[in-house]
Amino acid sequence: MKRTAGYLVLLAAAVASAVVLAWARYRSRVLFVELQQLERARDVLETEWGRLQLEQAALAAPGRVERVARERLHMHVPGPDETVIVKP
């Protein structure tokens, strides 16, 4: 009687383990798909971030800033007579 009960417990444990294994496998697949999606998203964002940094570098290039300042904003470097030195 006792022995049968023991077997039943073990059987139940084996069944439970099998179910959990199947469930874990399933979870793993789901998470793997999600991981791949996230990695793809990260790659897209990384590419975008790199592109934006390059764009910023191109827009802020000293040569361009100088050209815009001179031609579009009509700025010039103040000469000595236009400079007032403030005592610190």
Partner 1 sequence: MSRNRERRPTDAPGRWRAALLQGLFLLAFLVLLARAVDLQVLRHDFLVRQASARHLRTVEIPAHRGTIRDRHGETLALSTPMATVWANPKVLLQAPEYWPALARILGERERKLARRIRAYADREFVYLRRQVPPDVAQRVHALRAPGVGLAREYHRYYPAGEVAAHVVGFTDVDDVGREGMELAYDRWLRGTPGKKRVVRDGRHRIVDELELIRAPRPGRDLVLSIDLRIQYLAYRALKAAVRRHRARAGSAVVLDVRTGEVLAMVNQPSWNPNDRRHLRRAALRNRAVTDVFEPGSTMKPFAIAAALLSGRYRPDSRIDTRPGWLRVGRYTIHDVHDYGVLDLTGILRKSSNVGVSKIALSLPRESLWGVLQKVGFGQAPGLGFPGEAAGFLSPPAHWHRVEQATLAFGYGLSVSALQLARAYAVLAHDGRLLPVSLVRRAYPPEGTQVLPAAVARQVRHMLEAVVSPEGTAPRARIAGYRVAGKTGTVRKAVAGGYAEDRYLALFVGMAPASRPRLVCVVAIDEPGGETYYGGTVAAPVFQRILSGALRLLNVPPDAPRGTDAPLQAAMAGGPA
- Site for partner 1, rule CB under 8 A: 28-29, 32, 35, 43, 46-47, 49-51, 53-54, 56-58, 60-63, 77, 79-80, 83-88
Instruction: Please provide residue 45's backbone torsions phi and psi, each rounded to the nearest 5 degrees.
Output: -65, -40
Q: Which is nearer to partner 1, 4 or 83 (CB)?
A: 83
Using the minimum distance from each CB to partner 1, give the nearer residue, 71 or 79: 79
Spatial CB neighbours of 70, under 8 Å, sequence gap ≥ 6: 76
Q: CB-based contacts of 76: which residues, under 8 Å, 6+ apart? A: 70
12 versus 38: smaller Cβ distance to partner 1? 38
Smallest separation, CB 50 to partner 1 (Å): 3
